[in-house]
Amino acid sequence: MAGGVAPLVELLKAGLSDNRVEAQEYSLWSLSVTTDPLRCKNMVEEGCIPALIQSLRDGKLREDSKEHAAMVLASLAIESVYLEEIVRNGAITQLVELLTAEHTTMGAKKQAALGLARLTHHGSETQILIAEEGAITPLVQWLRDPAAGPSAVAAFALSELARDNHAA
């Protein structure tokens, strides 16, 4: 995939600008298999984060493509240097929506929960934003009913949300 990240991000952006959903979906699928740190850095430098979030916000993607977008966000959220940009561009709202949307795939739910768990490392303000967006209720529901979402991921996400929270 040498040199492949920049054209894929450009394809995502072009698909967003002229409503070519297929271009967005191909790009998201291709980017979702790109996990090494150098390529992730290249994605961010090419402006991938706002485009990823916009693709979710627009609501035109098939369910499997939403999973790919969430997977890319969750992968990028591993690196603390990208957390600010991910949060600033509105990822929390989009990821929480994936937790609760009726037809969301289990894979998309899992990736959304992982992404939110990783975003908690941005600080207590982000933990509060995630809670205020409504992430806690569906995650707790997953613990009660694993058919609603992956319970192990829910437990992890909830533990990260509560980490270092000393509120009374």
CA distances from 99 to 42, 46, 135, 140 (A): 28, 28, 7, 11
**Given this model, what pLDDT does residue 64 score?**
95
| Distance from C-alpha of 74 to C-alpha of 93, rounded to nearest angstrom | 14
| Distance from C-alpha of 19 to C-alpha of 14, rounded to nearest angstrom | 8
**Given this model, what pLDDT does residue 167 score?**
55
| Distance from C-alpha of 54 to C-alpha of 35, rounded to nearest angstrom | 21
Residue 7: CB atoms within 10 Å: 14
Q: How confident is the model over 95-104, as pLDDT tens digits?
A: 999 998 888 9
CB contact at 8 A, 115 and 91: yes
Angle at 39 between CA 35 and CA 40, to 5 degrees: 65
Q: What is the mean pLDDT of each run of 10 residues along the chain (168 residues)?
A: 80 94 95 89 96 95 96 95 96 96 92 96 92 96 93 95 72
| Distance from C-alpha of 51 to C-alpha of 2, rounded to nearest angstrom | 21
**Given this model, what pLDDT does residue 20 score?**
93
Phi and psi at 13, nearest 5°, equal -65, -45
**Given this model, what pLDDT does residue 3 score?**
61
